[in-house]
Every structure is written in C-alpha cells, then in structure tokens.
Amino acid sequence: MELNKITVLREGINSTFQDLGRSNFYHIGLPFSGAMDKRNYLIANKLVGNKYNEAVIEFAYQGPLIKIEDGNINFAISGDIKFNIKKNGKLITGDCYKNYNLSKNDEVDIISTNNSVYGYFAVSGGFDLKKNFGSFSTHVRSNVGANNGNKIQKGEKFFIKDFNDKHANKNLKYMNSKIEYIRILKGTNFDYFFEQSIKEFTSKEFLVTKLSDRMGMRLEGPKIKNLKETNIRSEGLIKGVIQVPADGNPIIMLSDHGTIGGYPKIGVVISADYDRLVQIPPSKKIKFKLIELKEAEKLYKLYQMETENLLSQI
Amino acid sequence: MIKNISNLGDAALYCDFGNDIDQKTNIKVIKYFENINKKNIDGITNLTPSYNKLIISFDLNVVNFTELKKKIEDIEISESYIRQDQKIIKIPTCCDDEFALDIERLSLKLNLTKKEILENYLNKEYFCYMTGFIAGMPFLGDIDKKIRLERLETPRVKVPKGAVGITEQFTNIYTFESPGGWNILGSTPIKIFDQKNEKQPILINPGDRVLFYEINKKEYFKINGIK
C-alpha cells in the first residue's frame, strides 16, 4: 500500500491540530479548545470531503511550508490566506476555498493571512493522529491532544489516513465578512463598573494588542473603572467572557482560556460573533454593542443557517 | 438550593449558590455538579463548579437558556450522594529554600519564623473546593489563620510546575508552569495531572481531603527521577 506522508519544512506560527473541540472537561481544568473560527474549519473539511470533526492544521499569521514526502494528497485551505503551490517544479498562486491534488515532492507554502489571524489546512481522508480526551484538539498549555499536545514543529512528518481525489474540483465562492462591531450581552458583574465606563465600553474603540493568542484577546482603550471590587471569588469562565482586571484593560477569553478566573465580567461576546471576533488581528480596533439575550439567540440561528447554506454549496 | 440562575452570555447558565465560601456551600455545588453530570442532559457541553457557583455551558444548536434553566430548576438532586473515596491524599512536599520561593516574604509579613510557618501548614487536612484554571490545579483550604497572606503584588510570569502556594485561606499546586501570584512555600515532585490516564487524569477532585507532608531534597529528586 502506498503511504501518503507530508513533512513540515517550516512550522509557521502557532500551528496546531484542531477539531470541533473537547466537551465535559472544564471541571478538571481543560478548556474547550478546538478550531478558533469554526465556520472556516467546517468549510475546509467539507471541501476535501471529510467528516465535520476531522482534525485540520490551524495556523496564525503564517502557516507551515509542507512537502509531500510520499504518495498523494488532496487539500484545501480556508480563511483569507496567501499561499503558493509548487507542483512538478512549477510555482502556482493558490486560491482559498478550492481543493488541489499534490504528489511526491510537491510543496504548499502558506505565506500569510491577509488582515486576519487564523487559517485552516485540511487534507482529504484526514491526518493519522491519536485523540486525547475525546478530541484531536491540541491544548499546548496542558500538553493535551494530538501530536502529544505540542505545536507542529519543523521536521515533523505526518501520515494521511486514506487519500482519495473524488472531491477534486470542489470549491466555494466565499468572502470572509468583516464585522463593524462585536455584539455582547451584559456580564454577571456589569454593575461593578461606573456608568461612564460602561458608556465608553459600549461606544468607544478598543485596540487589539499583540498580547493576544488562543487563550485570550487583550484590549486597550478607555480604562474601565471599577466601583465595587477589582477581584471576585474565583469562578468558572467560558469563551467570549470579557474580564476587566484592576488595570481597567478588558481581556476577552478565547478557546484555550483558563477554566477559572477571578476578575469581574463586564460582558460576554455573543456566539454568532465569535468566529469573526477571533479573526481580528492585533493593531486593529473593535467596538462593542450591547444587545439582549433573545436577539443574540436569533442572530446565532441566522449565523448557523448561513454556515449551513455555505456548506451545502460545496 | 440554587439562589438564582442567570445567563452568562447566550450559551451558559450561571447558577449562584450565594456568596459564602465554606464547605457547606461548596458541597451543595459539588452535589449539583455530580447529579447533573450523571443525568447526561441533552445539550450540556460543560459544567464548571467553583466555591459557590456552577456554570453550565450548553450547545445553542440543541437547547436555549430558558429551556435549560427550567430543566435545572426542576431537577431532583439525590441527597444520598456520598463521596466514595474518603481517604486522605498525601502530597510529598519539599520546602527547601530552593523551592520555597516566598518563604522569606511570608516570614517577614506574618512575623513568624520559617519553621513556624511550616508547622502551621504541613500535616493538616485540607478540603478540595474545586479544580481548574490550569488542568488539575486544586483549590484547597482552609489554612491556619496565622499564615494567611494576600497574593504577590506583581504576579510571577512563570511559577514552576509542582510549586505549592498559599494565598488568603487557600492553598494550591501548580500542575503546569504558569503565570501566578500565590506565595510559594515548596514543591511537590508527584504528578497531579496525567494526560495519559484519561480515566482518572487528576489526582485531587472536588470534595477530596488533602494533606502536605515534608520530604527532603534527596527524596524529592528520587521521586522526581522516576515520575
């Protein structure tokens, strides 16, 4: 049997294996993890004919340089990504949302994300990996998940389970929509803050700082002033929670967040806006808009329908 | 027994058991956690018990806040709940100067000698309120009133793996290298979180009883070597 194998010639930034995430382990301190931008993750898998929970390579800002060591692969890249393909020694500019066949010695060079953070590299058949706590998703901080819980590194080789190209020529016409403001619901400690601060929080711009990663997004803007207490008794967190520590700079909890935290929660990002939130790169500014629960639920349904509609076009 | 259920975002229930931090309140939280966990309710993706709160995360594709809130309000909580394993978990701890990073600060601020601090801390039974923040980290208490101190003003960027720390009425173990602001008074060489053991990955669970006993450096490195 022919073995389909890839080698990582350059690891890129924060390249990890991710899937839909890991349920039911918050109580032992393991976060949900999983692909940050779920919509793009699902599209990547669908483009290569995989099941929706197959592991893909997620990268940030710059992706890996991958060489086909042996056999053949069929792959697709989703996100807003600049990449090149070297096929039979010829250089081709790659298109996202389209799948390609490659053979031994061909290469994919994922150069950068355009005005966004995350991208996804999926191969038809999926990578041959081991699940850990029910999921492939890598949580580097606790060494949990595929690849022994580590980031993908230069020189590593991975096998593809079973190559097939019956999905070749599938593609999707899709533009990643930018978002004007991030919609939020009131947090459980909303009343801990000065009225003036709340006004500023929901109307002024906040800068996404470089201290942002899969764990959290640190913001800078008008200082959010606390009128009660700058610490609360430690309690559970979920992704999307916006905590405000004593320095007044909000931090949004993202997919690899610590499961317990002790800062007041001013707000929570609605589920419908999460995929677009995580794609906002450092040095960009964001604005928040406060909405009600019922509206958030409706917006989520709409967003889901849109995602399903996109998937059905593939 | 839950005082109030509100929403945390659009995909989680925030169950409030009051503001007290004591074993009585915490055991109520743990009881709810265990009961809900056993029932495998459709749509629930995660449960996070803490001192006096329980957060229930759910899949918004399956259920919504109003529906799940009703379910949790109507849930029957079995009172016959008894922890099966009541043995005390003993944690070997080396408090040599090399590991007791904040012992001098503690000594100065508490006006106690190093020996007095350790005498007040070691060989006492502590209760596990919750686990989390990082995988397997136990939040234990309550430590003696004489050795209570607030967090470091500037948290460490890196607290070493295995570090044993105290703050206020609590003590914990850093199961991974992590940022943190607790006062470090020792280190344990044993594994508290084992990602290879999926059935029982954590050594200390909420409701467990834990005791720290002192080992010397030689014993520390001996256990560390075979870990």
Q: Which of B79, B82, B57, B53 is nearest to B68 (CA)?
A: B57
How far is CA A309 from each of CA A314, B48, B160, rounded to the nearest angstrom?
A: 9, 34, 48
3-state secondary structure (DSSP) of residue A59: strand
- How many residues belong to chain A? 314
Domain ranges of chain A: 4-160, 182-312
Per CATH, domain B4-73 is 3.30.1360.40: yes
pLDDT (mean) for B47-74: 97
Which of A27, A28, A300 is opposite residue B60, by nearest beta carbon? A300
| Positions of chain A with pLDDT under 70 | 1-2
CB A223 within 8 A of CB A188: no
Domain ranges of chain B: 4-73, 88-226
Q: Distance (Å, rounded) from C-alpha B99 to C-alpha B186? A: 5
- The contact set of B with A (CB < 8 A) is 6-12, 14, 19, 21, 33, 45-55, 57, 60-61, 64-65, 130-137, 139, 175-176, 178, 193, 195, 198, 201-202, 206
Above 60 in pLDDT, residue B189? Answer: yes
State residue A65's pLDDT score.
98
Is B61's CB within 8 Å of A304's CB? yes
State residue B152's pLDDT score.
87
Cα A188 from chain centroid?
A: 26
% of chain B with per-residue pLDDT over 70: 96
- Distance (Å) from the alpha carbon of A23 to chain B's nearest alpha carbon: 5
- Distance (Å) from the alpha carbon of B115 to chain A's nearest alpha carbon: 30
Does residue A294 belong to the interface with chain B, where contact is any CB pair within 8 Å?
no
Which of A185, A260, A271 is opposite residue B132, by nearest beta carbon? A260
Give me the residue label for tokens 């948290």.
B155
Which of A141, A188, A260 is opposite residue B14, by nearest beta carbon? A188
State residue A3's pLDDT score.
85
Residues near B119 by beta carbon (within 8 Å), at least 6 away in sequence: none
- Distance (Å) from the alpha carbon of A306 to chain B's nearest alpha carbon: 14
Cis peptide before B22 (omega within 30 of 0): no
pLDDT (mean) for B20-40: 93
Q: Which CATH number fits domain B88-226: 2.40.30.10, 2.40.100.10, 3.40.640.10, 1.20.1250.20?
A: 2.40.100.10
Closest residue in B to A241 (Cα–Cα): B9
pLDDT (mean) for B180-191: 95
Is A233's CB within 8 Å of B21's CB? yes
Is B8's CB within 8 Å of A141's CB? no
Within 8 A of B52 by CB-CB distance, chain A residues are: 233, 235
Please give the model's pTM, rounded to 2 decimal places. 0.95
Which of A30, A132, A297 is opposite residue B10, by nearest beta carbon? A297
pLDDT (mean) for B47-66: 97
Taking only the tens place, the pLDDT of each residue in B82-96 is 565 678 999 999 999
> Which residue blocks in chain A are alpha helix, DSSP H?
38-47, 195-201, 274-278, 293-312
Q: Distance (Å, rounded) from C-alpha A293 to C-alpha B65? A: 9
Closest residue in B to A139 (Cα–Cα): B135
Which of B11, B131, B206 is opposite residue A271, by nearest beta carbon? B11
Other C-beta atoms lying within 10 Å of the C-beta of residue B156: 18
3-state secondary structure (DSSP) of residue A212: coil
- Distance (Å) from the alpha carbon of A252 to chain B's nearest alpha carbon: 13
Q: Distance (Å, rounded) from C-alpha A97 to C-alpha A78? A: 5
Does residue A29 belong to the interface with chain B, where contact is any CB pair within 8 Å?
yes
CB A281 within 8 A of CB A208: yes
Within 8 A of B19 by CB-CB distance, chain A residues are: 233
Tell me which amino acid residue B153 is: E
Above 90 in pLDDT, residue B127? Answer: yes
Q: Distance (Å, rounded) from C-alpha A129 to C-alpha A118? A: 21
Any idea which of A116-125, B6-15, B30-39 has the lowest mean pLDDT?
B30-39
Taking only the tens place, the pLDDT of each residue in B65-85 is 999 999 999 998 886 555 656
State residue A151's pLDDT score.
98
- Distance (Å) from the alpha carbon of A21 to chain B's nearest alpha carbon: 10
How far is CA A88 from each of CA A85, A102, A106, A157, rounded to the nearest angstrom?
A: 10, 9, 6, 21
pLDDT (mean) for B141-148: 97
Q: What architecture (CATH level 2) is domain A182-312?
A: Beta Barrel (2.40)
The dihedrals phi and psi of A71, each to the nearest 5 degrees, come to 75, -150
* CB hemisphere CA count around A263 (13 angstroms): 21
